[in-house]
Amino acid sequence: MYIKNECQVNKIVVYNNFGKAVLTQTTNNNKINVENLAHGIYLLEIHTEQNKVYKKFIKE
């Protein structure tokens, strides 16, 4: 999955609907592999040099 963001993404943490971190990945290309995640709703915690951004996504 590609993360569209104006700033470069340094780290992404994916949380399941219970609030448990299920994937943590450092990146420099704004991409994260969610292939092995089960279907469901997830929360992304996107770390940039300037701040943290939170986004929801649905894996179908």
Across the 60 residues of the chain, what is the mean pLDDT of every consecutive 10-residue run? 80 96 88 92 93 94
Q: Give the separation between CA 5 and CA 23, rounded to whole angstroms.
A: 19
pTM of the predicted model as reported, rounded to 2 decimal places? 0.85
pLDDT at 7: 76
Residue 36 Rama label (left phi>0; alpha psi -120 to 50; beta):
alpha
pLDDT at 5: 72
Q: Give the separation between CA 60 and CA 53, rounded to whole angstroms.
A: 22
pLDDT at 28: 75
Residues 6 or more apart in contact with residue 50 via CB below 8 angstroms: 7
pLDDT at 41: 96
Instruction: Please tell me whether residue 53 adopts helix, strand or coil conformation.
Output: strand
pLDDT at 37: 94
